[in-house]
Amino acid sequence: KKFGLQEIVAHCKEYGFVYPSSDIYGGLNAVYDYGPYGSQLRQNIKDYWWRAMVQAHENIVGLDASIFMHPQTWVASGHVDAFNDPMIDNKDSKKRYRADHLIEEIYAGKLENKIAKEIRKAAKRFGDAFDEQEFRATNPRVLKYQGQIDSAIERMNVFLNAEDLAGFKGLIEELEIKCPVSGTGNWTDIRQFNLMFSTQGGGSLGDNNLYLRPETAQGIFVNFNNVLNSSRQKLPFGIAQIGKAFRNEIVARQFVFRMREFEQMEMQYFVRPGKELEAYEYWKEKRLRWHQAIIGGENAHRFHNHEKLAHYANAAADIEFEYAFGFRELEGIHSRTDFDLKAHQELSGKKLQYFDPELKESYVPYVVETSVGCDRMFLAVLSDALQEDIVPDADGKESSRTVMKLHPALAPVKCAILPLLKNKEALTSKAREVFDRLKYSFQCQYDEKDAIGRRYRRQDAIGTPYCVTIDFDTLEDNTVTIRDRDSLEQKRVSIDEVERIISEKVDV
């Protein structure tokens, strides 16, 4: 049985993965701190991404740009003018909503629940003969609800595109009558709310308003010439970066899925104009396969192709993952055209061009971006891995355990080293010897407290793929048992073999 969101949040706190930020002061809304295992898991996610993107591609190089950037950056990128979300408050409940989410998540969500209810009822009635596809396509009630959802979202997009906020508000009031979300329809007007955090420079920075970057991408664009001139790259080539980004999200919910401070893993791929859609298709597929290699199952991910495009894009898709609260964006793949480089070229007065030796001409390259949130990846990994399963206990009876079945490459601890008993010095010193032997190859943990069965359960709950137990036989013949988290199989192997066995499994 997989965990729901509340259970994931509780597990993360209890086992040292994620805590609310500044917990002793009551936390800070939508800001979180990663604990001992969470920070290691996050580090492993970033390493896995960096190896796949930078190390495995001779034409992708890394960058680590600053969070603070020249204020003009955000004028050129369009963020000062257009990085807004529509915000609306309910005057009675005093609740604040992102107007587009209000429609998509609450209104459409309610109708989707009604559809799900119809389907459950029919499935019960028809038993084996039930065909969901056919039922969806023919049942008048399902068709009515689906039609209402589609038309509401379509109308919302028209209002958003036209920046017709009054029309948009009218739509919310109209929907509220059919499907009330908050008791009354007493709404404020919709305002555009800029999502950038700003702070004052001062001193030698002058009085400029500085922004905390809302995306890492612009650090790559403003460094285009620097990287080109210092890295010997030819087009097509990519620049990859992992770093923090900040957005003053109107409503931040769903744990680390939507935070005000988060981390992005982004790659901007520069190509000759006209080659961008080919590169876009290539990266879409390649990024999907990257996700599938770490979270199994054909159905965990899906593409969502955007019809409504951002001002800088000529094609865009999300890779969505099925979280406990439904399919949501995990990664964005965007064909950003030459919008950013051109805008920076114009505002800075510096040429941001590439001389193509084949064409013998200079041009501003086109860009394809892959952008995945480290924290959304973290939540996806936990949502997929964390479960309760039934296993035989020591006397062969069935008992349930909490286990995190995540890919060994991502596991925060790869190997737990456990002396059978804590008060037998011969066992504990032998176990410490094994720990010292393995600790430079991968993350190990020494644990001697509590009965061995409870220690196994604790390692299951933090996702440790292997437990190595040192018992009295070890002292005789230098063998240990190695226990597999998923199959629960325990094998006796020579100490000399342990490193090879685990290394083979934890490398991707």
Which amino acids are annotated as binding site for ATP, given as ranges? 247-249, 257-262, 329-330, 373-376
Q: Which is nearer to ligand ATP, 31 or 501 (CB)?
A: 31
Q: Which is nearer to ligand ATP, 168 or 312 (CB)?
A: 312
Q: What is the identity of the amino acid at 441?
A: S
- Residue 48 beta carbon to ligand ATP: minimum distance, rounded to whole angstroms: 15
Please state the φ and ψ torsions of residue 470, each to the nearest 5 degrees. -105, 115
Interacting residues toward ligand ATP by CB under 6 A: 215, 247, 249, 258-259, 262, 264, 329-332, 371-373, 375-376
Nearer CB in complex with ligand ATP: 12/372:
372
**DSSP string spanning 238-278?**
EEEEEEEEE---SS--TGGGS-SEEEEEEEEEEE-TT-HHH
Beta carbon of residue 247, minimum distance to ligand ATP (angstroms, whole number): 5
Residue showing tokens 């644990």: 447
Least distance to ligand ATP from the beta carbon of 451, Å? 40
Of 233 and 254, which CB lies nearer to ligand ATP in the complex structure?
A: 254
Detail the residues annotated as belonging to a binding site. 98, 215, 247-249, 257-266, 329-330, 369-376
Measured from the CB of residue 316, what is the shortest distance to ligand ATP in angstroms? 8
Point out the annotated binding site for substrate: 98, 215, 262-266, 369-373
Compute the least distance from the CB of residue 319 to ligand ATP, in Å.
8
Helices (H), 36-188: 36-50, 72-76, 79-82, 99-101, 108-126, 132-138, 140-161, 165-178
Closest CB to ligand ATP belongs to which residue? 373
Q: Which is nearer to ligand ATP, 259 or 413 (CB)?
A: 259
Only one residue has tokens 């950038």, namely: 196
Distance of CA 503 to the CA centre of its chain: 26
- C-beta separation of 266 from 369 below 8 A: yes
Give, as one character, the DSSP assignment of residue 54. I
CA dist., res. 403 & res. 216, Å (int): 35
Taking the complex as a whole, the smallest distance from the CB of residue 264 to ligand ATP amounts, in Å, to: 5
To ligand ATP, the closest distance from the beta carbon of 43 in angstroms equals 17
- Cβ distance to ligand ATP smaller for residue 77 or 464: 77
The token pair that represents 72 in the structure block: 């003009």
CA distance 371 to 262: 13
3-state secondary structure of 53: helix
Q: What is the DSSP letter of 67?
A: S
Structure-token pair, residue 246: 């900040």
Pick 11 or 334: Cβ nearer ligand ATP: 334
